[in-house]
Amino acid sequence: MTRPVFWDEACTALAKADAKLGRVIAGCGPAHLVSRGDPFVTLARSIIGQQISVQAAQAVWNRFEAACGDVTPKRVCRMRAATLARCGLSGRKVEYVKDLAHHFESGAIDPASWSAMDDEAIITELVEVRGIGRWTAEMFLIFNLMRPDVYPIDDLGLLKAVALQYGGDDAAGLTPKARRQLAIDVGDGWRPWRSVATWYLWRSLDPVPVEY
């Protein structure tokens, strides 16, 4: 899969600005961020996968996909709640997925308009959907839209990686508040490539590339 057009430039700039991050990038080899799926499918999968294991989420998704036949906003809008529940969705997730479909079908969410919108405007649009919070919207911006400067400051994996790389001897004893502040301070030096820095920091914890 083709790497994002900004990837090599971002890696070079980050390695030059931050020697520690440069070593992380160098140690990760040629893997890179890739975009997954169309917007509606990606967001529906994120809702279905909330608060359950990866394996359970895949099983529910497989049943959901089979019931839909074609996973589109129009199709999901027309499906009965009972049908979705039989796929394994909780009552709340049924409401969330239906609300997502209605937002797409009505035009309240219009992917064609996103190229002219900044990150915060898209986040504001997405969090109007029940079941989508800021973190989910940020993951969408990174993994689906491949926006280069998203910084999910409340992501636990990112905070852990920053503490390990930049917390020194006190890393293990940092409070959640201190970890967050450290990430804010360090992250300022990674603009305008914080999505790339975040992706590599995730990989410093797990060598398998993060997917969403």
The pLDDT mean for the chain works out to 93
- 8-state DSSP, 131: T
18-43: pLDDT as tens digits: 999 999 999 998 888 888 779 999 99
Beta-carbon contacts of 2 under 8 Å, excluding residues fewer than 6 positions away, are none
As a whole number of angstroms, the distance between CA 49 and CA 212 comes to 10
Token output for 41: 């499918």
108-124: pLDDT as tens digits: 999 999 999 999 999 99
- Out of 155, 170, 185, 188, the active site residue is 155
Beta-carbon contacts of 204 under 8 Å, excluding residues fewer than 6 positions away, are 24, 27, 28, 161, 164, 165
pLDDT of 209 higher than 70: no
Q: Which of 60, 36, 44, 212 is nearest to 132 (CA)?
A: 44
Q: Which of 49, 54, 27, 42 is nearest to 203 (CA)?
A: 27
pLDDT of 52 higher than 90: no
pLDDT band at 212 (very low <50, low <70, confident <90, very high): low
pLDDT of 1 higher than 70: no
Beta-carbon contacts of 158 under 8 Å, excluding residues fewer than 6 positions away, are 152, 183, 198, 201, 202
143-192: pLDDT as tens digits: 899 999 999 999 999 999 999 999 988 777 889 999 999 999 999 999 99
Per-domain residue ranges of the chain: 7-29+150-205, 39-143
Token output for 178: 């201190």
Task: Tell me the HSE value of 28 on the side-chain side, using a 13 A CA sphere.
Answer: 25
- In CATH terms, the superfamily for domain 39-143 is Hypothetical protein; domain 2 (1.10.340.30)
Distances (CA, A) of 53 to 17, 48, 60, 92, 173: 37, 11, 11, 17, 29
Tell me the CA end-to-end span of the chain in Å, nearest whole number: 15
Burial class for 44, CB neighbours closer than 10 Å (0-12, 13-18, 19+) = buried
| Bond into 192 cis (ω within 30) | yes
Task: Identify whether the C-beta of residue 22 lies closer than 8 Å to the C-beta of residue 201.
Answer: no
Token output for 8: 């090599």
Catalytic residue at 155? yes
Tokens 């920091």 — which residue? 201
